[in-house]
A and B are shown apart, each in its own frame.
Chain A
Amino acid sequence: GQNIDQPTEMTATEGAIVQINCTYQTSGFNGLFWYQQHAGEAPTFLSYNVLDGLEEKGRFSSFLSRSKGYSYLLLKELQMKDSASYLCAVRPTPQTGANNLFFGTGTRLTVIP
């Protein structure tokens, strides 16, 4: 089966740095995705990792360790508008499943002044 774990809620202060962790156990691995979802809106794509290491995109970075089944999303210089849910999703290998993304339940981040 597929299992993706991430914390349910986090709170951080404006201007600070926050790290949202995601651990996964899936039947094969072919990429990990991070999405941001504001309340009542659709998820928007943030990042994609398929190889180990850090991918940086402005204030957001995502890290992957395939051997540990672990990823994190790092948000720097937090802004109030970063308050949202952050979804971790894993794509298994085509041979082992339907190749659909498996989503975690999301981490609800609240940024406080």
Chain B
Amino acid sequence: EADIYQTPRYLVIGTGKKITLECSQTMGHDKMYWYQQDPGMELHLIHYSYGVNSTEKGDLSSESTVSRIRTEHFPLTLESARPSHTSQYLCASRGNEQYFGPGTRLTVT
């Protein structure tokens, strides 16, 4: 069982709002990732981190930002949400194996 958590699980929010999606893991993993996935579509890597104070953009351009101040915590922030940001956001962490959190389903109206 993987110890990786995401909150909120579901979020409906209006356009222009600032939101932060939380991700935390208790496995002591240095590597953490954020993916974006639309229903029935493939995973797209949007951010990753190899450790504290390390953040990089992934393969898919995203208007979101991330921070990594603590090993266990890797929050993702959208400064001004738009309907195009509606998607599922999946956080993952990796030691030898990569585990995913349960995801946050975001709807921007």
Contacts and interface: CB of A to CB of B under 8 A. Distances in A.
Q: Which of B33, B88, B100, B103 has the most CB of A within 10 A?
A: B100
B74 interface: no
A101 to B, nearest CB: 6
A35 B97 CA distance: 11
B42 A106 contact: yes
Q: Which residue of A35, A43, A89 has the most chain B CB atoms within 10 A of its CB atom?
A: A43
Interface in B71-104: 88, 90, 94, 96-103
B48 A103 contact: no
A6 to B, nearest CB: 11
A48 B90 contact: no
A108 B40 CA distance: 9
B11 interface: no
A104 B33 CA distance: 17
Given A40-B105, A45-B99, A45-B100, 17 more contacts: A39-B40, A40-B39, A42-B100, A42-B102, A43-B43, A45-B97, A45-B98, A48-B96, A48-B97, A89-B98, A99-B31, A100-B48, A100-B58, A101-B98, A103-B42, A104-B42, A105-B42
